[in-house]
């Protein structure tokens, strides 16, 4: 009997400890986020630890995460961090019932890890970035210490056996302490939320009040014959809300356009330059349709989209600053773009200055850039995968060499140079669809930026390659829609597509992985005709 009841009381003591631990951890987190709201939102512990994890994740794992969780990869990471914290909090809480000093010290240790992560972030510029984690940990440790004390019998109460333990600790004292802690955490949480919303307001207002000038060189309208009306095909222009997003930012930078600056410096410049957004907007702007593609896109994958971009021609800006391409004796062969969150992307100077429409974009489909896509300014270089060209939230351009500097992804084993490979995708029918026998429209998109798409062919099972109908080409920098009328017969069928680019090269059948310079191979879809 005594055994059972002491087991039960041990269990309820453990629950008490777990509860204390969780409450202390919650306090720590909420206080840390509140202080981050005051110092710098991006210095919050979950953001900095998440960022540090992302940076240290091997490319294969990162590729797996993007593949498996898609654009939810960051949510999964944050939930993972919170789960680790919760489990540690429970363990520390239970442990602190017996050793409350050590338990509290354990909480402080987490604070030190958070502070170290904050200071090691590439966008950290001040020791103040350690403050959120430290402040949170101090208050969390205090909360755990007090709760653990209240959960124990007062020192002078006689403990005569396990039966009396549960009676000896001050239930009321513990509940009061827990209530006060919870209320404090809740108010800190509300205040923190308020502060971070207010911080973002300046950026939001600057975006809302931004009036995009009309382009000196507008894009011609997309030809009507460039847009097929097949249900299920990707629209020629991808709406902003549907445009894929790939980046390492756990907190999307919200930049106030009024304080934004772009610095250009490095080799071959007569002198460093700096531009405000206003200065950029007084220059002649160009408007172009450009299809952006991610190197992490699997064959048949979703990380591609086309938008109408408005911005400043980058080559003009560079030429004005004295930069020459290597082919004309320029000293720098790599242009490194740096974002406010410390991301670096390197493009060949030769490509940027060879006459293609490399731009510093301010507008996307008629609107200022959405925050997710780089407001206020991002770079785009047609023909290059995003990770070597499309810097969002750009704030610095440095002219250097490929020998002298490896940007973020190159340091992580991706290729230094990465022109986009010729690819095609079947949008409809979807994999494992069950279309009725008879005429079925197979359709999709094909792309080979800078070279253009000259031909698309479709193959049913092991049959001959058949020419698909092509939508009119918008430009060589955009994808091209295609369709093929198939007379479907009952049974299982595999549908395959391949494209030929403007130079006459046929898309290779050879399957490669996304690492190091983009996936290749043919896209196939299996369907069953009932």
Ligand X SMILES: Nc1nc2c(c(=O)[nH]1)N[C@H]1C(S)=C(S)[C@@H](COP(=O)(O)O)O[C@H]1N2
Residues that bind ligand X (CB under 6 A): 243-249, 292, 294, 339, 341, 343, 373, 386-387, 390-393
Binding-site member from 174, 387, 409, 484 for Mo ion (CB under 5 A): 387
Q: Measure the CA–CA gap between 398 and 74, rounded to whole angstroms.
A: 29
Closest contact distance (angstroms) between CB of 361 and ligand X is 10
Closest contact distance (angstroms) between CB of 379 and ligand X is 8
What are the distances in angstroms from CA 405 to CA 59, 395, 454, 467?
Answer: 19, 18, 37, 45
- The pattern of x and - marking residues 240 through 259 that bind Mo ion according to CB under 5 A reads ------x-------------
DSSP conformation letters of 133-189: HHHHHHHHHHHHHHHHHHTSB-TTS---SHHHHHHHB-HHHHHHHHHHHHHHHHHHH
Q: Give the number of C-alpha atoms closer than 13 A to the C-alpha of residue 167, restricted to the C-beta side.
A: 8
Nearer to ligand X, 365 or 483 (CB): 365
Closest contact distance (angstroms) between CB of 432 and ligand X is 28
273-312: contacts with Mo ion (CB under 5 A): 294
What secondary structure letter does DSSP report for 207? H
309 binds, among ligand X, Mo ion, none (CB under 5 to 8 A by kind): none
Q: Measure the CA–CA gap between 149 and 164, rounded to whole angstroms.
A: 17
Nearer to ligand X, 243 or 486 (CB): 243
Report the C-alpha dihedral over residues 266, 269, 271, 274, rounded to 10 degrees: -70
Count Cβ atoms below 10 Å from residue 172 Cβ, excluding itself: 9
Residue 40 CB-density burial (10 A; 0-12 exposed, 13-18 middle, 19+ buried): buried
Is residue 320 classed as helix, strand or coil in its secondary structure? helix
Q: Measure the CA–CA gap between 38 and 226, rounded to whole angstroms.
A: 50
Closest contact distance (angstroms) between CB of 67 and Mo ion is 13
**Count of residues touching Mo ion (by CB under 5 A):** 4
Is 414 a residue that touches Mo ion (CB under 5 A)? no
Binding-site member from 386, 435, 444, 518 for Mo ion (CB under 5 A): 386
390 binds, among Mo ion, ligand X, none (CB under 5 to 8 A by kind): ligand X
Count Cβ atoms below 10 Å from residue 20 Cβ, excluding itself: 32
Nearer to ligand X, 236 or 243 (CB): 243
262 binds, among ligand X, Mo ion, none (CB under 5 to 8 A by kind): none
481 binds, among Mo ion, ligand X, none (CB under 5 to 8 A by kind): none
Closest contact distance (angstroms) between CB of 389 and ligand X is 8
321-325: long-range contacts at Cβ-Cβ below 8 A with a sequence spacing of 24 or more?
A: 321/264, 321/269, 321/270, 321/271, 321/273, 322/268, 322/269, 322/270, 322/271, 323/268, 323/269, 323/349, 323/353, 323/399, 324/268, 324/353, 325/349, 325/350, 325/352, 325/353, 325/354
Q: Which of 295, 391, 283, 288 is nearest to 343 (CA)?
A: 391
Q: Which of 94, 145, 126, 86 is nearest to 110 (CA)?
A: 86
Given the rule CB under 5 A, which of 34-42, 198-206, 307-315, 383-391 is the region that contacts Mo ion?
Answer: 383-391
Closest contact distance (angstroms) between CB of 133 and ligand X is 23
Given the rule CB under 5 A, which of 162-170, 382-390, 395-403, 445-453 is the region that contacts Mo ion?
Answer: 382-390
Is residue 329 classed as helix, strand or coil in its secondary structure? coil
Nearer to Mo ion, 132 or 301 (CB): 301
Nearer to Mo ion, 448 or 529 (CB): 448
Closest contact distance (angstroms) between CB of 381 and ligand X is 11
Nearer to ligand X, 19 or 408 (CB): 408
Q: Give the number of C-alpha atoms closer than 13 A to the C-alpha of residue 397, restricted to the C-beta side.
A: 34
Nearer to ligand X, 110 or 371 (CB): 371
Nearer to ligand X, 212 or 340 (CB): 340
Nearer to ligand X, 55 or 350 (CB): 55
Given the rule CB under 5 A, which of 101-109, 147-155, 378-386, 427-435 is the region that contacts Mo ion?
Answer: 378-386
Which residues are at the interface with Mo ion (CB under 5 A)?
A: 246, 294, 386-387
């Amino acid at each position: 009997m005594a055994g059972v009841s002491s087991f039960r009381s041990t269990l309820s003591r453990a629950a008490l400890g777990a509860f204390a631990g969780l409450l202390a951890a919650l306090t720590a987190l909420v206080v840390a986020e509140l202080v981050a709201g005051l110092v710098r939102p991006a210095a919050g512990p979950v953001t900095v630890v998440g960022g540090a994890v992302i940076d240290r994740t091997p490319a294969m794992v990162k590729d797996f995460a993007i593949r498996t969780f898609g654009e939810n990869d960051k949510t999964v990471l944050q939930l993972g961090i919170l789960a680790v914290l919760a489990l540690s909090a429970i363990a520390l809480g239970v442990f602190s019932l017996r050793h409350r000093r050590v338990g509290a010290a354990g909480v402080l240790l987490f604070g030190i890890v958070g502070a170290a992560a904050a200071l090691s972030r590439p966008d950290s510029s001040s020791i103040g970035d350690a403050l959120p984690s430290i402040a949170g940990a101090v208050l969390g440790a205090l909360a755990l210490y007090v709760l653990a004390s209240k959960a124990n019998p007062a020192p002078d109460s006689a403990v005569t056996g396990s039966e009396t333990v549960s009676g000896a600790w001050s239930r009321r004292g513990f509940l009061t302490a827990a209530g006060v802690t919870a209320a404090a955490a809740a108010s800190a949480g509300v205040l923190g939320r308020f502060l971070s919303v207010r911080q973002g307001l300046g950026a939001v207002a600057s975006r809302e009040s931004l009036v995009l000038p009309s382009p000196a060189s507008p894009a011609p309208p997309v030809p009507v014959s460039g847009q097929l009306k097949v249900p299920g095909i990707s629209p020629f222009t991808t709406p902003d809300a549907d445009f894929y997003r790939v980046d390492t930012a756990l907190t999307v930078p919200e930049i106030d356009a009024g304080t934004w600056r772009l610095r250009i410096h490095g080799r071959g410049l007569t002198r460093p330059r700096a531009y405000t957004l206003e200065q950029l907007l007084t220059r002649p702007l160009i408007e172009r349709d450009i299809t952006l593609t991610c190197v992490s896109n699997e064959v048949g994958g979703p990380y591609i989209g086309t938008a109408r971009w408005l911005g400043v021609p980058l080559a003009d800006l560079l030429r004005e600053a004295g930069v020459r391409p290597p082919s004309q004796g320029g000293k720098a062969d790599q242009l490194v773009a740096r974002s406010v969150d410390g991301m670096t992307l390197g493009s060949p100077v030769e490509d940027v200055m060879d006459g293609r429409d490399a731009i510093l974009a301010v507008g996307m489909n008629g609107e200022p850039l959405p925050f997710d896509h780089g407001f206020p300014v991002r770079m785009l270089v047609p023909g290059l995968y995003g990770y070597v060209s499309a810097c969002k939230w750009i704030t610095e351009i440095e002219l250097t060499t490929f020998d002298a500097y490896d940007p973020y992804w190159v340091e992580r084993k991706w290729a230094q140079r990465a022109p986009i490979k010729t690819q095609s995708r079947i949008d409809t029918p979807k994999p494992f669809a069950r279309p009725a026998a008879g005429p079925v429209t197979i359709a999709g998109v094909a792309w080979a930026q800078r070279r253009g798409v000259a031909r698309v062919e479709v193959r049913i099972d092991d049959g001959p390659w058949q020419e698909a109908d092509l939508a009119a080409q918008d430009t060589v920098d955009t994808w091209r829609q295609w369709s093929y009328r198939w007379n479907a017969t009952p049974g299982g069928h595999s549908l395959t597509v391949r494209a030929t680019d403007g130079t006459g090269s046929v898309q290779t059948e050879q399957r490669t992985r996304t690492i190091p310079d983009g996936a290749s191979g043919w896209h196939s879809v299996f369907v069953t005709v009932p």
